[in-house]
Amino acid sequence: MFKSGREWSVAKIERLKARRSQLADNRNDVNSRALYGESIAGKFREATGYDVPLDSFDTNVKPPVVFSAPTMEQASDWALLNVDEEAALIALERLERCMTSHEGLIGIQGNTHLGLHRSASISLAGLLKVAAALDDTVVFFPDSCRAAIVVDCYRHSSMRSFYSIYVKGNEVVDCLGKS
């Protein structure tokens, strides 16, 4: 029923630790954004067709679709793994044909210091170029449906790039099955 003094103190200490950890994370995000933000934001030109200023990325916007499984592959409704650029571009062209709108949010998957940018015109092939330029995982959340399209790029030791594409959202996956 009532917590003992010791249980109360332990709970209070745990809340304080969590608060301090959150404050430290926030400071790290601010520092990382100041150090790397402009450079990263500039790479998104390939996906949007225009210069994307750092201040257009909003850290307060939460992703509309969350990948909750331990791995992207497990969390996705459709995945294409470890393919070369040509195969990735073909898949992205298929996805592009499934899109009813090219408006939405873009960003780096799991990146808390950059945030998300709202764009009126996204090129999925451009997302591949952004992922390659950053050697990272970029994400697009289309406004037209509750979905996420993720493009992951990683360099092999031979400096050759490999790509994986993940899609979460039944509307897009159903369209892929029909195309």
As to burial, measured by CB atoms within 10 angstroms (0-12 exposed, 13-18 middle, 19+ buried), residue 55 is exposed
Q: Give me the mean pLDDT over the 69-85 stretch.
A: 85
Q: How many Å apart are CA 40 and CA 38, to the nearest integer?
A: 6
- Specify the amino acid at residue 129: K
Q: Read off the pLDDT of residues 26-65 as tens digits, 9 standing for 90 and up.
A: 777 677 778 888 888 888 887 788 888 999 999 899 898 8
| pLDDT at 159 > cutoff 70 | no
Of all residues in the chain, the percent with pLDDT exceeding 70 is 89
pLDDT for res 99? 83
- The torsion region of residue 12 among left (phi > 0), alpha (psi -120 to 50) and beta comes to alpha
